[in-house]
Chains A and B, each alone.
Chain A
Amino acid sequence: MNQNPTSQTSYESDNYVTINIGPSHPSMHGTLRIITMTDGETIVKAEPDIGYLHRGVEKLGESLTYHQFIPITDRLNYCSAIPNNVSYEMAVEKLMGVEVPEKAQLIRVIMMELARIADHQVCIGILGVDLGAFTPFFYLIIQREEIYEIFEWFNGARLTNTFGRIGGVDADLPDDFEERWEELKPNVRKANDETEKLLTHNRIWMDRTIGISAFSAEDALNRGFTGPCLRACGVKRDLRIDEPYCMYDKFKFEVPVGKNGDVFDRYIVRMIEMEESLKIIDQAYKLYKEMPSDAPLMARVPKVIKPPAGEVYSALESPNGELGFFVKSNGSANPYRIRIRPPCYMMFQALPELVKGEMVADLIACISSLNIIAGELDR
């Protein structure tokens, strides 16, 4: 593309209207801002402007100890805090060379997959709301509440879980987990089913999503796409399989792959991933039950964590894509530099290309389907 989409050119033109969408707009997730230049309703140029939720998390991390940073990671992707926690913990554990006990890893898997379901539910629900279908959102969000209930009984918080500690997890699964899980599973399936019934084959929905903001696999890789959005483009890449962590290589699950990389594919990929997550949790819980009840949940880590000097990067497959933490230590009790690689950061920068030539309504659908979370976008 010879014309660079994000370059700053004048927004004044006799033929075009400049519309400033955001930072406070009903469908801007968090506080995003997009300056669009439209020809009628067709977008000629769109330029995202981020930073309205910038809290300086990376700078903040340099002043906290390794443990104190865990609650801060909750606030990155607030729709699914647990993968954020785990990703950071994994990075520090890698830096320290600590092996996490298997049972703790299983608990992490179970909780992360629950968080993945919750995240996808929100994403699809919001996508529906942004396209005018309110009802599926509520069917999905009710089940998310049940998932949050499990989180609450696990360690006392619903949204900002502060899950796990460096070297393991902070609590065992609650006693009634199985009960809750068996109750939750069919309900999640039912809610997904109802969403599918309301949306998937509805012509209005199909018209609104199929072929919208389609992206080729090549472009997506060049742009650094990861996660469901990359898989929707037809690239089968899932860190859970490609770079297994947390015993993911022991579970059998499928990775859905789309073809066109449009909004519809992203939606379907997420739908199927939820189903696969349910399967993973089943398998993980089976393995978990086989473990002795007093199996260790924490590795032996010192009370004050002072990793040896060095720098590592560790990533996992968050619901949104590759979520990586780069941690550099200088041997002291505070991390020297923490870099967060949020998945939607890379995807959002491709927005100008994604929505070029689409309409304003499609821009909204595109943002929703990318699942942009301003918290992790701006950090």
Chain B
Amino acid sequence: MDDWLIAIIKVVCIWVWVLLIAVVMTWVERRGAGLIQDRPGPNRAGPWGLFQPLADGIKLFTKEEIIPTKARKILYILGPLLFSLPAFSAYAVVPFGDKIILGGKEIILQVSDVNIGFLFILAIGSMGVYGVILGGWGSTNKYSILGGLRSTAQMVSYEVPLGLALLAIVFVYGTFSLRDISLAQQGTFLGFLPNWGIFKQPLGFILFIVAAYAEANRVPFDLPEAESEIVSGYHTEYGSMRLGLYLFGEYVNLVTISGVIVALYFGSWHMPYIDLGAYLGPISWGIVSFCIFFLKVSFFLWMFVWVRWTLPRFRYDQVMGLGWRGLIPLALFNIFITALFIQLTV
């Protein structure tokens, strides 16, 4: 087998897989919301309402595409594409398992192990903001513009604490590659803790997760689409599959962010205390590692839902205040402490 063929298979598989998770997430979100709020949630289409996303998809596909008369057409059409493409491509550097050996060939379970994985995620992640601002601007709707502006300001602001939190991780592990960091989290830390990033970077983890929620426009940072204030934010004027792309892109973003959190802070595919890889064959370990990784990711996906239905929403200026006055100093402090610690111990 050629390397490029393997690469293509991996890309397709992971693409489908991420898509599938995102689809199921739309169901989980609504079902979870229902259960949290003492009601069943969607339970009509299929068993437990599992086909609900399918029904939604069909609905979105078959709806008439409407472009508002006064919209700036090119930007309007470009918006959702520019939003969903980076969302899909960002997962390329996130691992989803250890490695699998097929026909004597070692295949790492990651689309590409770039040695600047972090930078790729940060760079591609911030591309998404173009889709939002273009969609908001192109709609020629005041609510959309407000939503787009809110989103831009918020994403730009929270890139900084996100990057700073990641920087501390780089200090600890000395590499930019997510795979290397994952590998480094095997074993134990201080003798009794799993050797996970969260125990080495507890503050960094909190900073990262808060900034990640803000980047993903999730509650409590969902002001770009705060429906009680600005109707639907940047996608007020969108309908049919264009709206679908926006909504979809968000869920794909969630999958990526959860993957990054697991890879960096929660020991990737490692079980705590047990090194399963030593007991299992190469193929079975590949599958098991994938499952472990996926389970961890699902927990964080569920966290997104759980938090969403618990918290109220920030106000625009409070989000900015929290970002610039709260998170960035804390992140700097975190870097300082980490650097000091490394300097003292090494």
Contacts and interface: CB of A to CB of B under 8 A. Distances in A.
Chain A directly contacts chain B within the complex, with at least one CB pair under 8 Å: yes
Interface of A: 17, 19, 25-27, 41, 128-135, 138-139, 142, 198-199, 202, 204-205, 207-208, 359-362, 364
A132 B316 contact: no
A163 to B, nearest CB: 28
Interface string B223-238: 1001111110000000
Given A25-B231, A364-B228, A17 B142 contact: yes
A133 B311 contact: yes
B39 interface: yes
Contacts, number: 78
Given A134-B37, A138-B37, A204 B220 contact: yes
B220 to A, nearest CB: 6
A134 B146 CA distance: 23
Contacts of B215: none
B37 A132 contact: no
Contact of A361 (B38, B39, B220, B316): B316
What are the 6 closest A-B residue pairs judged by CB atoms, nearest first? A132-B313, A133-B312, A138-B37, A27-B228, A130-B228, A132-B312
A25 to B, nearest CB: 6
A148 to B, nearest CB: 16
For A128, A138, A142, the residue with the greatest tally of chain B CB atoms inside 10 Å of its CB is A138
Given A135-B36, A135-B310, A362 B228 contact: no
Q: State the main secondary structure of chain A at its contact with B.
A: helix
A131 B226 CA distance: 9
A205 B39 CA distance: 24
Contact of B230 (A205, A207, A360): A360
Contacts of A199: 312
Interface string B244-287: 00000000000000000000000000000000000000000000
Contacts of A133: 310-313
Contacts of A129: 228
A361 B231 CA distance: 11
A132 B219 contact: yes
A257 B311 CA distance: 27
B41 to A, nearest CB: 11
B271 to A, nearest CB: 34
Contacts of B317: 41, 359
Given A19-B142, A128-B312, A132-B222, A360 B38 contact: no
A240 B278 CA distance: 76
Given A138-B38, A138-B39, A204-B220, A26 B314 contact: no
Contacts of B188: none
20 contacts: A26-B227, A27-B229, A41-B146, A132-B219, A132-B311, A132-B312, A132-B313, A134-B33, A135-B37, A135-B310, A139-B37, A142-B38, A198-B310, A204-B311, A205-B312, A207-B314, A207-B315, A208-B313, A360-B146, A361-B223
A360 B229 contact: yes
A135 B309 contact: yes
B115 interface: no
Given A26-B231, A132-B312, A360-B229, A207 B222 contact: no
Given A17-B142, A361-B229, A204 B38 contact: no
Interface residues of B, number: 28
Nearest to B313: A132
A138 B222 CA distance: 20
Interface in B7-41: 33, 36-39
Contact of A131 (B37, B228, B310): B228
Contacts of A25: 231
Given A41-B316, A204-B220, A132 B230 contact: no
A209 to B, nearest CB: 9
B43 interface: no
Contacts of A132: 219-220, 222, 226, 228, 311-313
Given A204-B318, A207-B314, 14 more contacts: A17-B142, A19-B143, A26-B227, A41-B146, A41-B317, A128-B312, A129-B228, A132-B220, A132-B312, A134-B309, A135-B36, A135-B309, A204-B313, A364-B229
A208 B321 CA distance: 13
A202 B38 contact: no
Nearest to B232: A26
B312 A204 contact: yes
Contacts of A130: 228
Nearest to B220: A204
A132 B318 CA distance: 14
A264 to B, nearest CB: 12
Contacts of A359: 315-317
A146 to B, nearest CB: 12
Contacts of A26: 227-228, 231
Interface in B293-335: 309-318
B309 to A, nearest CB: 5
A204 B314 contact: yes
B313 A207 contact: no
B213 to A, nearest CB: 12
Given A17-B142, A135-B309, A135-B310, A208 B228 contact: no
Interface in B197-230: 219-220, 222-223, 226-230
A364 B312 CA distance: 14
A19 B311 CA distance: 27
A139 B316 CA distance: 27
Contacts of A204: 220, 311-314, 318
Given A132-B220, A135-B310, A198-B310, A208 B315 contact: yes
A351 B151 CA distance: 28
Contacts of B313: 131-133, 204, 208
Interface in B21-72: 33, 36-39
